[in-house]
């Protein structure tokens, strides 16, 4: 009986150790899971079948939109960017466009809670990037902004990309890479990514964007 009891006790102790190790691994994982990868959901407009005409609106998954913000297939008729236009090398099938609205927006909120312990040290850095552009010589444009907010909802820092002007594009239809980097504010608890398309000419809002990205770098 004594030997059996010790054997059972040993098994229970082993199982307990394994369970504790698993729990510690699970609890530790979120602290690093946000580092080194794009935190923007559907930043490349690939989660849906893009619109195949300038009258169709496909609201992109993962984003809260206004106006006629839409995912559009590359190369459809009407002067849209295609696979040969300036733009990201890995552009997928779709990009984001503004639709038939003077102003179209898309917003996404990213919780930073898994990384708060590291962020509070003031050593976490971010890189915010996007491909932005428009059509021909028109002033229609796109901007992308990341705003860091604290627990009370107050803005504690931001970075804006674009617009890419017709002069910068040399009146060429396409998308151009823009990027900004910095330190994540110590008190930030979430990041809000916003894309804004603004129309100045014509009926279609030709602001364009693709490959929206926010990447955090772990402190060394």
Q: What is the pLDDT of residues 72-122, one digit of tens each?
A: 999 999 999 999 999 999 999 999 999 999 999 999 999 999 999 999 999
Can you list the positions of beta strands (E) in the chain?
64-66, 70-73, 94-97, 103-111, 125-134, 141-149, 155-161, 174-183, 190-198, 208-217
The answer to whether residues 28 and 82 belong to one domain is no
Q: Considering the entire predicted model, what is its pTM? A: 0.85
**Domain encompassing residue 14:** 1-33
pLDDT at 29: 38
Instruction: Answer yes or no: is pLDDT of 27 > 60.
Output: no
19 shares its domain with 40: no
Do 3 and 104 have their domain in common? Answer: no
Tally of domains within the chain: 2
Q: Do residue 206 and residue 99 come from a single domain?
A: yes
Same domain, 7 and 17: yes
Cβ(149)–Cβ(109) below 8 Å = no
Same domain, 110 and 202: yes
pLDDT, tens digit, 9 for 90 and up, residues 143-197:
999 999 999 999 999 999 999 999 999 999 999 999 999 999 999 999 999 999 9
Kindly state whether residues 145 and 43 are assigned to the same domain: yes
**Tokens for 4?**
């059996």
In this prediction, residue 135 carries a pLDDT of 97
């Amino acid at each position: 009986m004594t030997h059996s009891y010790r054997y059972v006790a040993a098994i229970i102790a082993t199982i307990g150790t394994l369970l504790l190790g698993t729990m510690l691994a699970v609890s530790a994982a979120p602290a690093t899971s946000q580092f080194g990868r794009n935190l923007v959901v559907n930043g490349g407009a690939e989660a849906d079948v893009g619109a195949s005409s300038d009258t169709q609106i496909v609201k992109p998954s993962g984003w809260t939109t206004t106006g006629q913000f839409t995912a559009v297939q590359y190369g459809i008729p009407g002067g849209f960017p295609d696979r040969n236009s300036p733009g990201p090398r890995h552009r997928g099938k779709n990009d984001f466009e503004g639709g038939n609205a003077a102003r179209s927006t898309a917003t996404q909120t990213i919780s930073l809670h898994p990384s708060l312990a590291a962020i509070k040290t003031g050593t976490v850095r971010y890189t915010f990037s996007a491909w932005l552009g428009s059509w021909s010589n028109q002033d229609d444009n796109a901007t992308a902004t990341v705003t860091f907010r604290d627990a009370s909802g107050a803005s504690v820092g931001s970075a804006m990309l674009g617009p890419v002007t017709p002069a910068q594009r040399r009146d060429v239809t396409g998308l151009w890479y823009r990027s900004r980097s910095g330190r994540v504010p110590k008190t930030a608890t979430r990041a809000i990514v916003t894309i804004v398309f603004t129309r100045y000419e014509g009926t279609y809002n030709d602001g364009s964007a693709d490959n929206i990205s926010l990447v955090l770098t772990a402190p060394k």
